[in-house]
Amino acid sequence: MTRLQWLDYRAALGERKTYVAAALMIYAVLAVPLLLAEPPPHVREVIAAWLADEDPFALFMFVWIDLVMNKVIAFVPVILASGVVLRERDTRVLGLLAAKPLTLGRYFVIRTVSACAVMLTLYAVTQVPAVAWFHGQIAGFRAGTFLAAMGLHACAAVFATAFAATVMVAVGRRGAGALVAWMLLGVMVGLALVGFYQPDWYALTLANPLTLGTLAMGNLQQLSPAVLLPPMLALLAWTAVTIAAGARLVRKMEV
């Protein structure tokens, strides 16, 4: 099964949609320093309200996580998950594969884990080289803090991918499923930082998995494993539960 997972991951990496997703993320990396050269005033106001200073690195991280990567994880997971089982069904590839000694639920797990692994790969191949690019462009850039924060955010992106795959098989149609997944992820992204602006709601917003992915934002001065590990583990648990739910739903699908 490990070999099938590996082959499926490699196949997923070679799909056209992966190139589209990669292009989106590379564009984000290249464009943000240009945006930051002249940040909008409301961005500065918001960052000052909850970070109490205008540390250029904090400003950059706010823009990068909230305005860029949170938007990316509302779109890219939907692109990556759009082919999970439904596309194989619609293009008649599943008619061939479903006759193999593998349940449809198991196949869904393999395909979704591959999509999640592709998402992680895209993070690695964009965020790590981005360190060198940002270092020369952003004043006060701290590579270690950036990578740690994005490591946590990658866990949220993985969850978003599993979530999109599960929503799509729950809806049962690719187009409608993608739309619903995109809308739900959009709502989660929109509410992700509410707890930072409204501290009274902070505890409540922790129920939103995408909020967990942004928790590094409140601790940029002292990011440590104690800050990062609990939300990472929670996001992994969310991901596992979501994939299990998708595997259960897909069993009812007529091939």
Partner 1 sequence: MSGSAILVEALGKRFGAMQAVDGVSFSVEPGEIFGFMGHNGAGKTTTLRMLLGLTRPTGGRAAVLGHDVVAATLEVRRVCGYLPASYALPPDMTPREFLQYVAAMFAIPRATARARGEALLRRFGLEAVADRKLRGFSTGMTQKVGLAQALINEPRVLLLDEPTSGLDPLGRHELLEHLRALAQQQGVTVMFSSHILSDVETLCRRVAAMHHARLIACGEIAALKREHGATTMDELYLELVRRHAS
Q: Does 20 bind partner 1 (CB under 8 A)?
A: no
- Are 80 and 229 in contact by the 8 Å Cβ rule? The answer is no
CB atoms within 10 A of CB 50: 16
Q: How far apart are CA 79 and CA 145, in angstroms?
A: 29
Binding span for partner 1 by CB under 8 A among 4-12, 127-135, 204-212, 240-248: 4-12
Shorter beta-carbon distance to partner 1: residue 109 or 210: 109
Q: Find the binder of partner 1 among 1, 37, 52, 203 (CB under 8 A).
A: 1
Q: Specify the 3-state DSSP secondary structure of 2.
A: helix
Q: CB 118 → partner 1: shortest distance, Å?
A: 13
Q: How far apart are CA 141 and CA 85, in angstroms?
A: 42
Q: CB 249 → partner 1: shortest distance, Å?
A: 18
In this structure, the chain runs to a length of 255
Binding span for partner 1 by CB under 8 A among 8-16, 23-31, 113-121, 132-140: 8-16
Q: Does 15 bind partner 1 (CB under 8 A)?
A: yes
Contacts (CB under 8 A) with partner 1, residues 82-121: 88, 91-93, 95-103
Shorter beta-carbon distance to partner 1: residue 200 or 254: 254
Q: Does 11 bind partner 1 (CB under 8 A)?
A: yes
Q: CB 98 → partner 1: shortest distance, Å?
A: 6
Q: Which residues of 175-205 are buried (b: 16+ CB within 10 A; e: fewer)?
A: eebbebbbebbeebbebbbebbeeeeeeeeb
The torsion angles phi and psi of 184, rounded to 5 degrees, stand at -65, -45
The site that binds partner 1 (CB under 8 A) totals a number of residues, namely: 24
**52: DSSP letter:** S
Contacts (CB under 8 A) with partner 1, residues 191-210: none
Binding span for partner 1 by CB under 8 A among 14-22, 24-32, 122-130, 149-157: 14-22
Q: Does 255 bind partner 1 (CB under 8 A)?
A: yes
- Are 156 and 71 in contact by the 8 Å Cβ rule? The answer is no
Q: CB 57 → partner 1: shortest distance, Å?
A: 40
Q: Does 4 bind partner 1 (CB under 8 A)?
A: yes
CB atoms within 10 A of CB 133: 15
Which residue from 162, 86, 85 is spatially nearest to 117, judged by alpha carbons? 162
Q: Which residues bind partner 1 (CB under 8 A)?
A: 1, 3-4, 7-8, 10-11, 14-16, 88, 91-93, 95-103, 255
